[in-house]
Amino acid sequence: MTGRRGPLPLTVAAAVLSTACLGARDVRAQSNEELMAIIREQQRQIDELSRKVDALTGQTQAAEEKAEAATETAQKVEETAPDIRVKWAPGPTFSSKDGSWSVHVRGRLFVDGGALGDDDDLYKNDNGVELRAARLGIEGDFYEGWSYKFETDFGLGDVDVKDAYIEYDGELVDPAYVRVGQYKVPNSLDWLTSNRFLTFMERSAIVDAFELDRQIGLGTGASGEDWGADVGVFGQNAADVNDNEGYALAARGHYAFFPVPKEAAEDSGQVVHLGASARYRNFDNDTFGSEVTYRQRPFFHFTGTRSVDTGSIPDSEGDVWVGGEFAWVNGPFSLQSEVANTALQRKNGEDDANNLWGGYLSASYFLTGEHRNYDPAAGAFDRVEVINPLQKGGFGAWEVAARADYIDLNDEGVKGGEQISYIGGVNWYVNDYVRFMLDGAVTQVFNARDTEAAVTGSENLIYGGGVRAQVDW
């Protein structure tokens, strides 16, 4: 034990010195026996203190040994535990410890309802509810540069394959990527922005009427901090099963200006987006049968009756869709606009219809200070980050928006009609993943062919409203 008493000689010296001082002060009043008694008491106290120091030292050593044993046990548990980590945000993401692979379970649910009316009383019974989207899927990455995505939609009474592709963007092709499978053709800002992040319940007429869609194809592209370009060759959609399916070609480029230099691009509240894209489709195949139809609803999807409709156009050889894009985000305020033209090529002496076109202009404002998030690599809008979500005692995010949306399906032997829709909306973002939407729309149809949607004088005024409850993960 004496080997662990480093400071004890100093203690003894202090004690002896103290005792000597006492003896010097009272030497005349004390006998030698009294002095020896004092010394013995001091020695006893020193011995007791020494025993306590030894006990504490032993306890410290025991604690260190237990800590080392616990560390070894933890290391063994880590080595033998499954190679899986789980994160919820809000859906589950499973990944390996070393980050070599991951898989995220994704999904969304849109529950819509609404009602329509019109001057011709055609839409007076068009009211109801629908599961606008009920999707479930997975996405992830593995090894270095490989990723995948597979998602199906169970809404609207069908099982519909949405995205289903494999992608490589590793160092062999960096900064490019190569993708094969079914995915969105690279056209239009409104089309490429996920419907989870759209300002309104439905997309613009130039997306729906001219059938921008997901198709099976092979594509590539590259992107930087403020730009991106994509190109691909496509066949049919997974829902089509034809031997002679035809093909489509599509390409897009986009560039973003950030007025505030060095600001984090994806979180920037200040951005100007410019983009352009084109698509060619061939109709001489079993998928189209040399025919094509262009048509559009009066904005809301819950009605199946189209307000403008060309009907089936025979002797159709192919069409070329060309569009331009603009968006401006200035804090809580944003503008977005696109214009697109479709040139229909016909055969057997039929005149080409080169001016089937449309466009929209929309504006939105966040009353609670948020802003639309923009992804410069994808050239599309992303998730809104709510400043004061409901679960943290706030009121969520509130957004008001308005849009004018025009489509003209009349030109050279093609008469589908013209329509302009005026849409107003209010969106409540409870948090980053839950949103409630309220849209109202008035649609004026004119110069239409005689269809049920425009009974009186090829014109009609359609009005209605819709609501949506939305969650995604």
**pLDDT tens sequence across 109-163:** 999 999 999 998 888 888 889 999 999 999 999 999 999 999 999 998 889 999 9
How large is the average pLDDT for residues 242-248?
91
How large is the average pLDDT for residues 361-375?
97
Does residue 63 sit in the same domain as residue 199?
A: no
Does residue 266 sit in the same domain as residue 404?
A: yes
How large is the average pLDDT for residues 209-233?
97
* Secondary structure class of 202 (helix, strand, coil): coil
Q: Judge whether 403 lies within some domain.
A: yes
Q: Judge whether 187 lies within some domain.
A: no
433 or 60, higher pLDDT: 433
Q: What integer pLDDT is reported at residue 12 of this predicted model?
A: 37
Does residue 468 sit in the same domain as residue 334?
A: yes
Q: Judge whether 336 lies within some domain.
A: yes
Does residue 442 sit in the same domain as residue 391?
A: yes
Q: How far is CA 441 from CA 2, 225, 404, 425, 456, in A?
A: 93, 37, 10, 9, 21
Does residue 114 sit in the same domain as residue 75?
A: no
How large is the average pLDDT for residues 459-473?
96
Does residue 71 sit in the same domain as residue 115?
A: no
How large is the average pLDDT for residues 368-385?
97
At residue 323, does pLDDT exceed 60?
A: yes
Q: Judge whether 210 lies within some domain.
A: no
Q: What integer pLDDT is reported at residue 349 of this predicted model?
A: 92
DSSP string of 2-57? GGG-TTHHHHHHHHHHHHHHHHHHHTTT--HHHHHHHHHHHHHHHHHHHHHHHHHH
The CATH number of residue 337's host domain is: 2.40.160.10
At residue 461, does pLDDT exceed 70?
A: yes
How large is the average pLDDT for residues 392-401?
98
Closest C-alpha to 360, from 305, 402, 311, 312: 402
| 29 band by pLDDT with thresholds 50, 70 and 90 | very low
Does residue 51 sit in the same domain as residue 124?
A: no
Q: Judge whether 146 lies within some domain.
A: no
Q: How far is CA 337 from CA 201, 211, 212, 244, 425, in A?
A: 16, 18, 17, 37, 17
Cβ atoms of 130 and 466 within 8 Å: the answer is: no
At residue 472, does pLDDT exceed 60?
A: yes
Q: How far apart are the first and last CA of the chain?
A: 65
> 282 is written with which tokens?
């061939």
pLDDT tens digits for 2-18?
444 444 344 434 444 44
Q: Judge whether 296 lies within some domain.
A: yes
pLDDT tens digits for 397-413?
999 999 999 999 999 99
Cβ atoms of 215 and 237 within 8 Å: the answer is: yes
138 or 51, higher pLDDT: 138
Q: What integer pLDDT is reported at residue 149 of this predicted model?
A: 98
pLDDT tens digits for 151-190?
999 998 889 999 999 999 999 999 999 999 999 999 999 9
| 417 band by pLDDT with thresholds 50, 70 and 90 | very high
| 265 band by pLDDT with thresholds 50, 70 and 90 | low
Scan for tokens 């809301």, then name that residue: 300
How far apart CA 466 and CA 352 sit, in angstroms, is 38
| 263 band by pLDDT with thresholds 50, 70 and 90 | low
| 242 band by pLDDT with thresholds 50, 70 and 90 | confident
How far apart CA 193 and CA 469 sit, in angstroms, is 19
How large is the average pLDDT for residues 284-303?
95
Q: Judge whether 101 lies within some domain.
A: no
Average predicted confidence (pLDDT) for the chain: 89
Domain that holds residue 54: 2-79
Does residue 394 sit in the same domain as residue 278?
A: yes
Q: Is the peptide bond before 261 cis (omega within 30 degrees of 0)?
A: no
Q: What integer pLDDT is reported at residue 75 of this predicted model?
A: 74
How large is the average pLDDT for residues 17-29?
45
| 371 band by pLDDT with thresholds 50, 70 and 90 | very high
Does residue 49 sit in the same domain as residue 120?
A: no
Please, which residues bridge with residue 183 across strands?
A: 215
Percentage of the chain lying above the pLDDT 90 cut: 71
How far apart CA 149 and CA 135 sit, in angstroms, is 13
| 21 band by pLDDT with thresholds 50, 70 and 90 | very low
Q: Judge whether 211 lies within some domain.
A: no
How large is the average pLDDT for residues 317-343?
98
What are the backbone angles phi and psi of residue 340, rounded to the nearest 5°? -140, 145
Give the global pTM.
0.82
At residue 455, does pLDDT exceed 60?
A: no
Q: What total of structural domains would you count in the chain? A: 2
pLDDT tens digits for 60-107?
787 788 888 888 876 776 666 678 899 998 899 999 988 899 999 999
Does residue 430 sit in the same domain as residue 366?
A: yes
Q: What integer pLDDT is reported at residue 300 of this predicted model?
A: 95
Percentage of the chain lying above the pLDDT 70 cut: 89
Q: What integer pLDDT is reported at residue 79 of this predicted model?
A: 67
Does residue 45 sit in the same domain as residue 119?
A: no
Does residue 52 sit in the same domain as residue 199?
A: no
Task: Give the rounded distance of the alpha carbon of 340 from its chain centre.
Answer: 26
Least confident of 51-65, 347-361, 437-451: 51-65
